[in-house]
Amino acid sequence: MKQPTPIIHQPPTAETVDLYDGDKLLGAATLDGNDWSLIVENLPPELHTFTAHFAGAKSNKWTVTVTESNLNLPVPHVNGATPGLPNSERLDYYTINDDIQVVIPDYGIKLGDSVGLYWTGRGGINLFSEQTAAENPPALLPFSISKYQVIDAILTTAVIYYTVKRKDEAQVHPSPTLILTVEGHTFPVNAPTINGAHDNLRVWKQNEFNNGTTAGVRAIGPDGDEWSADSTPAFGGNDYLNFEIDPSWLARNRGRSAIFNCSIRLNPSDPHYLFSQLLRIQAV
């Protein structure tokens, strides 16, 4: 990318002035009355320290920071997703059934780049993670998004984009956004509800369920501390199934944030569970 072309003016004391960037000679300028100027092209984006030289004498230093006015950042990509309309992809969660990996395409990455990934899921839930390109040659690892955040977005969309901040620059460059449509089943499965004491989960029977449908629940603490339980009896004619949360899990996570969801097997012959949306609790 061709960089901005600074025109550097400095009062000289001689007919010809040599301009240096650190120890590198950039060129010679000729006096025009009491002024001189030199056009310098293709300075890399970084801090430059200039001095003017004549006959063994050297001026005071002055600095100029050259920044990239714009980066041509490509759209991020989700491994395992298929492209749809421009800047959009579709993902069947059950083909992954795990955390997903968001890949940042090569945009001309440089050592020291700080790259942040943003995910906005169902209900405007925002996630952010960041990494710095520290390898040589510089590279970025895929960003991981928790499978529970992906499950929560089934039958809706998530917005994904990233930002790049060059080392020693203040400007932050945003990428175009990727619209990820998450698929997996034909109707939304509601999150379980929790009682006031936060020690019991309830899964309500939906119209799409039948008397033979079974359910399970899962609790995940902020450090990934998980507890789960399955219901051996089916719903039958009941409107809901209750699950007592394990007291030892509660003791470890009291006062902390947690997420809960349920899994539904509509019929015993179904190949996999249907996972529900998330219930988020700020303090268990």
- Domain residue limits, the chain: 7-65, 77-183, 193-281
The rounded distance, in Å, linking the Cα atoms of 242 and 248 is 18
Q: What kind of fold does domain 77-183 have according to CATH? A: Immunoglobulin-like (2.60.40)
- Please name the residues in contact with 91: beta carbons below 8 A apart, sequence gap of 6 or more: 78, 80, 81, 82, 100, 150, 180, 181, 182, 183
Percentage of residues of the chain with pLDDT beyond 90: 65
Fold matches, 77-183 and 193-281: yes
Cis peptide before 268 (omega within 30 of 0): no
More confident residue, 150 or 61: 150
Instruction: Give 266's contacts (C-beta < 8 A, 6+ positions apart).
Output: 208, 209, 210, 212, 213, 274
Average pLDDT for 61-84: 86
* Torsional sign, CA 116, 119, 124, 125: negative
Q: Is the pLDDT of residue 226 over 90?
A: yes
50-54, 240-244, 274-278: segment of lowest average pLDDT: 50-54
- Model-level pTM? 0.75
- Cα separation, 192 vs 220, whole angstroms: 13
Nearest to residue 191, comparing CAs of 153, 162, 226, 157? 153
Per-residue model confidence (pLDDT) at position 236: 94
Q: Which helix (H) or strand (E) holds 209?
A: none
Q: Which residues pair with 219 in a beta bridge?
A: 227, 260
What's the pLDDT at 29? 85
In a 13 Å sphere around the CA of 40, the CA atoms on its Cβ side amount to 22
Contact 148/220 with Cβ under 8 angstroms?
Answer: yes
> What is the pLDDT averaged over residues 183-192?
95
- Per DSSP, the chain holds a count of helices (H) and strands (E) of 3, 25
- Between CA 50 and CA 36 the distance in angstroms is 14
Q: For residue 101, which of 168, 146, 51 has the smallest C-alpha distance?
A: 146
Calculated CA dihedral for residues 203, 207, 209, 210, nearest 10 degrees = 120
- Rounded average pLDDT over 106-124: 94
Of the listed ranges 57-66, 129-138, 189-198, 215-224, the least confidently predicted one is 57-66
CATH superfamily, domain at 193-281:
Immunoglobulins (2.60.40.10)
Tell me the pLDDT band of 1, cut-offs 50, 70 and 90: very low
- Arithmetic mean of pLDDT over the chain: 89
pLDDT tens figures, 6-47:
655 554 444 888 888 998 998 888 867 667 788 887 787 778
**What's the rounded Cα separation, in Å, for the pair 180 and 155?**
11
